[in-house]
Structure 1
């Protein structure tokens, strides 16, 4: 298991402080996916943290802006995200020159950060770090071993649309990684982006 020890020192500090300051917080998704896929830390542009619903926005802002020297570049409610599910409430993006971007994502009420693990669309993304342990799913290990992106969930045509477009972006960095659709989401939905589908499933 490839972990945060491969990231730059500044990123490791941010991870440890955020997780220890706001109990229940996890680092999940893209950064850990990329490390375990062998892409290396230089390919990682941002870190995604999922925090409990009750986490104070002002406390997060004080830590990231006042203590770490980041600046807020974007803040958005999940209700405006196309393809977002009900587990997410909102997110704030923090940037700092020379460091990886930090995205703080608030869970919606009644959902915990670790619950988010099984909600990621692709098996390869289903990995999280809680400050002590790494949490993964069977789908994650299968995708990493087989060099694939398996679409394990899609609750709507909007989510399916978003996932396929994500995979098309992934293809530029994950050379030779295929796309699997074991639940036949293509057959369940009528995608509005049919022109993209042949290139998505060509591998």
Structure 2
């Protein structure tokens, strides 16, 4: 894999959101950076945000021309299920800025590598803070071994199969592997 520069629109968006009052961390991670680096079509952008005031994030995105489409959970508290286990409070879905954007509100200020290590497949464990790329060892191993290694044994089988089906369409030569 040839390491590419972080796209300027991504760095700019991360910087804009980071400047919102009360915001402590903004990361772009998962599928978009994976697909960008591996020359695949990008479906959407997942931005993981830790902030004291989610309304400032919404205002910032709306000021950039995005429209809030829907929300799941409450940024003021956890919603149940897998998201709770991963420290996710809520997700806002936006259209605009030329892309579909998901703002995933974090319950606490975690380092980027901690966030990445919680992702389901090794190949998804890549992200950026807008300044540099961060990869986990699992990401590198999946690339080297041409595997899609699943890391979350507690995840519902149905969800895992759906995620694998989507990933295997984009990466048909990679074989499913379980880390547990």
Question: TM-score of the superposition, structure 1-length normalised?
Answer: 0.74
Partners of 2:165 and 2:5 in 1: how far apart?
25
After TM superposition, the structure 1 = structure 2 runs for residues 188-199 of structure 1, keeping only pairs within 5 Å, are none
Match status 1:172 vs 2:173: no
| Equivalence for 1:56 | 53
Tell me how far apart the structure 2 counterparts of residues 149 and 20 of structure 1 sit (CA, whole Å).
Answer: 36
Distance of 1:84 and 1:51 partners within structure 2: 14
- Whose helix fraction is larger, Structure 1's or Structure 2's? 1
Q: Aligned Cα RMSD in Å?
A: 2.2
**CA distance in structure 1 between the partners assigned to 2:149 and 2:84 by the alignment:** 19
CA contact (8 A) 1:73 1:95 kept: yes
Q: Which runs of 5+ in 1 are unaligned?
A: 184-203
Higher strand share: 2
Contact 1:3–1:32 (Cα < 8 Å) also in 2:
no
**TM-score when normalising by structure 2:** 0.83
After superposition, what is the alpha-carbon deviation per residue over 1:141-161, rounded to whole angstroms, capped at 9, x for unaligned? 1112222210122224x2x43
The answer to whether the 8 A contact 1:19-1:26 is kept is: no
Deviations 1:97-123 (A, max 9, x none): x71111110112x45262311100110
Query: What pairs up with 1:30-69 in 2 under 5 angstroms?
Result: 30-39=31-40, 43-52=41-50, 54-65=51-62, 67-69=63-65
Q: Which moved more, 1:110-119 or 1:147-156?
A: 110-119
Give per-residue Cα distances to partners, 1:22-47, cap 9 Å, x unaligned. 331111101011122231xxx11211
Q: Give ranges in structure 2 of 5+ residues lacking alignment.
A: none
Count of matched residue positions in the alignment of Structure 1 and Structure 2? 170
Q: In 2 relative to 1, CA 20–28 (structure 1 residues): closer, same or farther, beyond 3 Å? A: farther
Alpha-carbon distance, 1:20 to partner: 4.6
Q: Larger radius of gyration, structure 1 or 2?
A: 1
